Structure formats: C-alpha cells, structure tokens
C-alpha cells in the first residue's frame, strides 16, 4: 500500500454529537457524545451506540424509537448519510472556513430521531447502507473498466468482507479485495466534484459535477509545414477541472479563483488523476473533490 493510501486511511475527525433539544428531556441539553472517527466512516454506523448513549434522556420511549430512524444535521442542514463523514465535513465546513489551515473542530452535529419523514431521507438500516455502498462501488467499477464485471465477479464472501472492512476500518482486508478490482489501464476516472453554494444559495443543496474523465488527454499541436501530430499527455486534476468548469479554473496549473480539497487537504492541480484514483479514493472507489473558493 502506498504512503498516500496509508495517510488517507489514517485520517480521523473529532465529532461532537448532541441530541436535538426538542427530543431531550433535560432542559439545558444532555452531555454531548464525543468521539474520533475515521474520515472514511459513515454516520449511520454510529447510530447503535448513539441510541444507547442518549436513551436515558430521550423524551420518546427509547424502546419504541427505531435506532435507524436517526439522522444528523449540521447548521440545521440534514446530512446525506451515504456520503463519508470526512467528505461531509469538507463540503459543509472546510468549503466555508475563513482559515482552511485551522478549520473549526470538532465537527458539531445534531442527532434527531423524530420528524425525519418529511425530509426525504432514505432509511439508514444496515441492509440499505450496504446496498448503497455496493451500488456506488459498482458505478465506480463501470467507469474504470467500461463494465461492472470485476465487482460482479467477486465471491459473496469477498463482497461481504469488502463492506465489513469498511465498517471495521480494516485496511488490510480492504486493500486485498479492492485492489483486485483495479484494471491495469483505466478507461475513465471515477470522480465527483462538489461545488460550494453561492452567498445566497441554499445550504442544503449540494451541486455535484460528474463526467467521463479519461486518464489521458489527446492534443494535436501544429507541426512545421502545416502537418499535425497527435500527442497524449497525462490527465491532471487541473486539466480535468479546466475542461469541466473553465470559469472557475481558467488555469490548469494555478488555483486562480478556487482550490481543491480531498480528504481535508488541498490537492495541487498538477496531481495526476489516475494516481489519485489508485491511491486516494473513498472506500467506494470515488474521488470526492471539494471546490473551495479563494478568499
């Protein structure tokens, strides 16, 4: 495993989780639940321990309050549980931080168990979370290879072990299974670009840009005598962003208007996309790049 992969897996995020005041029987709120979690973790995996921790102070009967009815908000915005915790933090906190070098920590979340039906949130039941993860892995696999055959060829045991390694943060097991899905040559790079909302934008809305981005770029410079010759260059993060959103990234080398964040770190625009896709994806195989406007 590369040093970059190891650092991605070593990344952690401190959380401060409080029960929604409207659901708490203590007037001035109960004590928060404090925990440090891997950035690659998913919020629903915390629900059983949170339900147990807050049960004594729930207004509703905890024995009839389903664990997986729980959902989280940040700054009153319901969070999409199928996104990794680190990516959620980058989208909602880092993208608007006044000083990206010293972002606010911990990540302060509010836990709710009531009134989630009107928010169009998908159930966070374990089977649903597993299926959402595997479907995302399949989609990334299809972009890389042009077929979902690699992931579909996994044995049932390896498919379960892949998700199990994410739940238990077992890097060795994950590496063994996931690396078997990576082709020698990528057809496209599985990448999603998350854009910040404008000054008057709706906080809850996340704009996501996704396109077929090949690992190389063909160019046809003019040669002497009027002839032309096609050459191939490696696709970089900057060249991909310039082709997708030239108004935000007029230069493929210099972050003139905005910079890019991956796993909480600013990524140089000259980074090779295929190298990132092999070593710095989230556990579902996707690069989740957050655009942060320069101040």
Q: How far apart are CA 230 and CA 15, in angstroms?
A: 51
* Integer angstrom CA distances of residue 285 from 148, 162, 210, 279: 13, 12, 14, 10
What strands lie across the sheet with 12-19, from one edge to the other?
A: 33-38, 12-19, 107-112, 71-74, 77-78
- Give bridge partners of residue 46 from the DSSP assignment: none
How crowded is the C-beta side of 19, counted as CA atoms within 13 Å? 25
Question: Each residue of 212-257: pLDDT tens digit?
Answer: 999 999 876 655 555 566 788 999 999 999 999 999 999 999 999 9
pLDDT at 1: 53
- Under 8 Å between Cβ of 4 and 36: no
Q: Residue 38 in 3-state DSSP?
A: strand
pLDDT at 217: 92
Token duo for residue 2: 């590369």
Question: Each residue of 27-77: pLDDT tens digit?
Answer: 777 899 999 999 999 999 999 999 999 999 999 999 999 999 999 999 999
- Average per-residue pLDDT for the chain: 91
Alpha carbon 270 to chain centroid distance? Answer: 21
Query: What percent of the chain clears pLDDT 90, i.e. is strictly above it?
Result: 79
List domains and CATH numbers for the chain: 3-121 (3.10.20.620), 127-181 (1.10.246.190), 191-222+230-293 (3.10.20.90)
Q: What is the DSSP string of 168-237?
A: HT-HHHHHHHHGGG--SS-SSB-EEEEEPP-TTS-TT--EEEE--B-SEEEE--B-GGG-B--EEEE-BH
pTM above 0.85, yes or no: yes
* CA-CA-CA-CA dihedral for 158, 161, 166, 167, to nearest 10: 160
Question: Each residue of 185-220: pLDDT tens digit?
Answer: 999 999 999 997 755 556 667 899 999 999 999 876
Angle between the N-to-C axes of helices 171-178 and 156-168, in degrees from 0 to 180, rounded to the nearest 10: 140
pLDDT at 148: 86
Q: How far apart are CA 235 and CA 162, in angstroms?
A: 29
Alpha helices in the chain (DSSP H): 3-10, 47-54, 85-92, 126-145, 149-152, 156-168, 171-178, 237-244, 273-279
């Amino acid at each position: 495993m590369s040093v970059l992969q190891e650092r991605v897996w070593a990344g952690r995020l401190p959380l401060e989780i409080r029960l929604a005041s409207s659901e708490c029987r203590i007037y001035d709120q109960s004590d928060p639940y404090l925990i440090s979690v891997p950035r690659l973790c998913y919020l629903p995996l915390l629900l059983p321990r949170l339900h147990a921790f807050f049960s004594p102070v729930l207004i509703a009967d905890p024995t009839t309050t389903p664990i997986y009815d729980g959902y989280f908000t940040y700054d009153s915005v319901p969070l999409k549980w199928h996104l990794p915790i680190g990516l959620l933090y980058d989208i909602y906190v880092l993208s608007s931080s006044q000083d990206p070098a010293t972002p606010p920590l911990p990540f302060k979340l509010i836990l709710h168990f009531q009134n989630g039906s009107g928010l169009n949130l998908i159930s966070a039941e374990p089977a649903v979370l597993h299926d959402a993860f595997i479907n995302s892995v399949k989609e990334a696999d299809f972009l890389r290879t042009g077929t979902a055959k690699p992931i579909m060829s996994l044995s049932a045991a390896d498919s379960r072990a892949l998700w199990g390694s994410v739940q238990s943060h077992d890097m060795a097991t994950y590496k063994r299974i996931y690396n078997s899905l990576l082709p020698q040559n990528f057809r496209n790079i599985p990448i999603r670009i998350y854009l910040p909302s404008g000054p008057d934008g709706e906080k809850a809305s996340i704009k996501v840009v996704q396109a077929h981005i090949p690992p190389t770029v063909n160019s046809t410079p003019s040669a002497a005598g009027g002839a032309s010759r096609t050459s191939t260059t490696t696709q970089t993060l900057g060249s991909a962003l310039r082709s997708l959103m030239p108004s935000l990234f007029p230069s493929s080398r210099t972050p003139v208007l905005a910079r890019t964040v991956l796993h909480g770190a600013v990524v140089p625009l000259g980074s090779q996309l295929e190298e990132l896709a092999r070593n710095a994806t989230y556990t579902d195989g996707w690069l989740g790049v957050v655009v942060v406007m320069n101040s």
